[in-house]
């Protein structure tokens, strides 16, 4: 099959969407399918199958760019497609729809991001955010009602998108590359100068929606080291908070190749985020044998299963966070084993099996797909 992915975020940007698309592309290509990824040009070199298009920076969000291409620009860069799969309801999604119309191919969409949680980057004024949310809800409903199928990475996210748009949404996990993410503790923390017996931590985008204030406050009660890593729009804000604590170590932005060692070196991965549509970082940590303690919010209610691959806590309630961390430590060995099992359920191989089934149902070209 010839598959085209359209996305507003791709490498070198670091987030769950970029790595999901990359992992799907690699797995599909292993199975003999042809995949093209259309994304806003960032000036980086390209790999086979990558199709950068002209773009402009989105200044309110660090590192993001918006496509300004038109379908005609792609007429000689992307062959006729069997399936178009869009990963954003904005400029790239619009472009994907046009290419699908050109080829008379089905267009599918995955809802990756709860965009309304990011309006604080534009304004803190209640009336401004209220207007933005109304406009976004209108556009979201209009966009998703105009495609042939919609997916979301968790049951929670799918249910809420169905309620907002009135359309059926299929749950398809983003998945995790369990060949890449696996237990691999090679003395990573010692190399970083961290020698405590008890270590918990977080790695990801340093954005306000990640709610890292909870973990910073909890550090006062934790008898061990809290390790933070990542970068993002709110980096300077969080660095000020980190520097006020003696037992918080900030490692900066880590290369992708270092992530399995980072996760493996932690006792617990703590994710206080209140804006996750799945929480891929939880699955990455689980695949490295590390349980998670996550906020009892949005999709983390589903991704972090109590007593299976971790525990949840009430966002903003540091007593609740302390109890969850204590409970996780009390059954750490069992949680580690179950975390590995949980990650396997979401392996990229299993996810691509599901994707191909969706593609197969939508196009005659997929009827003979070898799953």
How do residues 276-317 score in pLDDT, each as one tens digit? 999 999 999 999 999 999 999 999 999 999 999 999 999 999
Q: Is 70 exceeded by the pLDDT of residue 107?
A: yes
Instruction: List b or e across 82-110, with b for residues whose CB sees 16 or more CB atoms inside 10 angstroms.
Output: bbbbbbbbebbbbbbbbbbebbebbbbbb
Backbone dihedral region for residue 25 (phi beyond 0: left; psi -120 to 50: alpha; all else: beta): alpha
CA distances from 179 to 83, 191, 256 (A): 27, 24, 14
Q: Sorting pLDDT into bands at 50, 70 and 90, what band is 15?
A: confident
* Confidence (pLDDT) at 14: 77
- Counting other chains too, the contacts that 47-51 makes at CB distance below 8 Å and 24 or more residues apart are 49/25, 50/10, 51/77, 51/78
Backbone dihedral region for residue 355 (phi beyond 0: left; psi -120 to 50: alpha; all else: beta): alpha
Is the Cα dihedral 357, 279, 36, 259 positive or negative?
negative
* Residue 94: closest CA among 75, 70, 113: 70
pLDDT tens digits, one per residue of 314-355: 999 999 999 999 999 999 999 999 999 999 999 999 999 999
List, in order of start, the domains of the chain with CATH numbers.
2-175+347-366 (3.40.50.2000), 188-345 (3.40.50.2000)
Q: Of the ranges 11-15, 81-85, 237-241, which one carries the lowest mean pLDDT score?
A: 11-15
CA distances from 347 to 24, 104, 180 (A): 11, 32, 11
pLDDT tens digits, one per residue of 145-197: 999 999 999 999 999 999 999 999 999 999 999 999 999 977 898 888 898 89
* Residue 291: closest CA among 313, 307, 275, 274: 307
pLDDT tens digits, one per residue of 226-251: 999 999 889 999 999 999 999 999 99
Number of helices and strands in the chain (H, E): 13, 15
* Confidence (pLDDT) at 370: 43
Beta-bridge mates of residue 85: 5, 108
- In 10 A of CB 215, how many CB atoms? 26
The fraction of the chain above a pLDDT of 70, given in percent, is 94
The percent of the chain in helix, strand and coil, each rounded to the nearest 5, is 45, 20, 40
* Confidence (pLDDT) at 365: 53
Mean pLDDT of 122-139: 85
Alpha-carbon gap, residue 73 to 71, rounded angstroms: 5
What is the model's pTM?
Answer: 0.91
* Confidence (pLDDT) at 369: 43
Torsion of CA 260, 118, 167, 2, to 10 degrees: -50
Report the length, in residues, of the chain. Answer: 371
Helix ranges (H only) for the chain are: 16-30, 91-103, 126-144, 155-165, 188-191, 213-218, 235-243, 259-265, 280-287, 300-303, 318-330, 332-345, 348-362
pLDDT tens digits, one per residue of 20-67: 999 999 999 999 999 999 999 988 878 899 999 988 877 666 667 778
Q: Of the ranges 32-36, 66-70, 80-84, 359-363, which one carries the lowest mean pLDDT score?
A: 66-70
């Amino acid at each position: 099959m010839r598959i085209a992915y359209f996305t507003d975020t791709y490498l070198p940007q670091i987030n769950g969407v970029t790595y999901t698309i990359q992992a799907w592309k690699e797995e599909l290509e292993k199975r003999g399918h042809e995949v093209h990824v259309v994304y806003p040009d960032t000036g980086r070199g390209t790999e086979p199958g990558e199709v950068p298009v002209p773009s402009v920076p989105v200044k309110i969000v660090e590192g993001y760019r918006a496509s300004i291409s038109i379908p005609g620009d792609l007429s000689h860069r992307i062959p006729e497609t069997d399936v178009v799969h869009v990963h954003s309801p904005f400029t790239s999604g619009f472009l994907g729809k046009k290419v699908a119309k050109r080829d008379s191919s089905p267009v599918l969409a995955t809802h990756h991001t709860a965009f309304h949680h990011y309006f604080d980057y534009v304004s803190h004024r209640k009336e401004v955010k209220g207007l933005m949310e109304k406009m976004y809800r209108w556009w979201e409903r209009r966009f998703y009602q105009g495609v042939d199928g919609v997916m979301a990475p968790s049951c929670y996210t799918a249910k809420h998108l169905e309620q907002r748009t009135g359309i059926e949404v299929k749950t398809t996990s983003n998945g995790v590359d369990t060949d890449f993410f696996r237990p691999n503790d090679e003395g990573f923390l010692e190399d970083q100068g961290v020698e405590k017996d008890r270590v918990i931590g977080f790695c990801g985008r340093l954005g306000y929606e990640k709610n890292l204030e909870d973990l910073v406050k909890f550090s006062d009660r934790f008898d061990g080291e809290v390790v933070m890593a990542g970068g993002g729009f709110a980096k300077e804000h969080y660095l000020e908070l980190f520097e006020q604590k003696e037992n918080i170590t900030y490692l900066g932005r880590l290369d992708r190749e270092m992530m399995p060692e980072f996760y493996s070196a932690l006792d617990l991965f703590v994710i206080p985020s209140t804006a996750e549509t799945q929480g891929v970082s939880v699955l990455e940590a689980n695949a490295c044998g590390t349980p998670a303690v996550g906020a009892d919010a949005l999709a983390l209610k589903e991704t972090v299963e109590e007593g299976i691959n971790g525990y949840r806590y009430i966002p903003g309630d540091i007593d609740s966070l302390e109890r969850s961390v204590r409970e996780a430590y009390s059954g750490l060995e069992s949680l580690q084993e179950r975390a590995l099992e949980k990650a396997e359920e979401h392996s990229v191989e299993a996810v691509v099996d599901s994707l191909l089934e969706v593609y197969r149902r939508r196009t005659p070209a997929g009827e003979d797909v070898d799953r």
